[in-house]
Structure 1
Amino acid sequence: MAVILIVEDDIFTRNMAEMMIQDWGHDTLSASDVDEALLLVKSPQHIDALFTDIYLKKAVLGGCDLARHAVELRPELRVLYTTGNSPTDQMKSLFVDGRHFLPKPYTPDQLQSSVRGMLAA
């Protein structure tokens, strides 16, 4: 199964996503902000995919910037974006090349389908 890095500033949402993804047999790493996430991406830890909120509170860099840096460091990394806000046209252009988008709020079935699609891409 895959190792998925979850980056979400809301602890409840992050914990719920982490529990669901683990229930489906995947391993997870989690971070509450871009700095924590980049430390994990730069580490020797194996990571197959990044599931990140686009808008992270109190962050200079958001999920889109994080994903760009992460993919520069790990080109094979799959990316799934999420947000409760409507993505702009500029953001929509990011959802190519193995990158996907899941709007919030999402159900467990929607998350599972999106994770499967991301990993299969």
Structure 2
Amino acid sequence: MAAILIAEDEPFSRMVVEAAARDLGLEPLAVADGDAAIAQARAAESLEVLFTDIHMPPGPDGWAVAREVRRIHPDIRVIYTSGQAGPEDYERFAVPESCLLPKPYTSIELVAAIAGEGLSH
């Protein structure tokens, strides 16, 4: 089963993303901060998708998490999410095969992002 790494510091949001991932046939690996996300990426044999909140204090933010996870798993798709980051941030920091999912998002938007619709680059 393909895996998705979910780095989201808000517990309810994390649970919603986990449920959507399971519905799409992905194995969710969910963590609450950037350090745990990087550790999980190092331990995982393979990852198909990274779903990362951009703002996860106090550790590495989602931009740094994506850079490090992409170094470990070069072909991973990345979904960035934030209630604060704008398109200019995304254009500056995004990696290929990624998308920005602004908060709040609908379940339809979430599923589409996880399924790989709306990718840029």
Same fold? TM cut 0.5: yes
Equivalents in 1 of 2:7, 2:117: separation in Å? 16
How much has 1:35 moved relative to structure 2?
Answer: 1.2
Conserved 8 A contact 1:80-1:118: no
**Identical amino acids, percent of aligned pairs:** 32
Gaps of at least 5 residues in structure 2 are: none
Equivalents in 2 of 1:25, 1:33: separation in Å? 24
Aligned residues: 120
Equivalents in 2 of 1:103, 1:27: separation in Å? 23
How much has 1:48 moved relative to structure 2?
Answer: 1.1
Per the alignment, residue 48 of structure 1 pairs with 48
Amino acid at match of 2:5: L
How much has 1:39 moved relative to structure 2?
Answer: 1.0
Q: CA RMSD in A?
A: 2.1
How much has 1:85 moved relative to structure 2?
Answer: 1.0
How much has 1:40 moved relative to structure 2?
Answer: 0.8
Amino acid at match of 1:97: P
Conserved 8 A contact 2:80-2:99: yes
TM-score with structure 1 setting the length? 0.87
Equivalents in 2 of 1:33, 1:99: separation in Å? 20
Equivalents in 2 of 1:64, 1:4: separation in Å? 17
Deviations 1:26-84 (A, max 9, x none): 1110010011111111114321110000011x323100001001111211111110001
Gaps of at least 5 residues in structure 1 are: none
Moved over 4 A (4+): 118-121
Local SS of the residue matching 2:60: coil
TM-score with structure 2 setting the length? 0.87
How do 1:1-121 and structure 2 match up within 5 A? Answer: 2-56=2-56, 58-87=57-86, 89-117=88-116
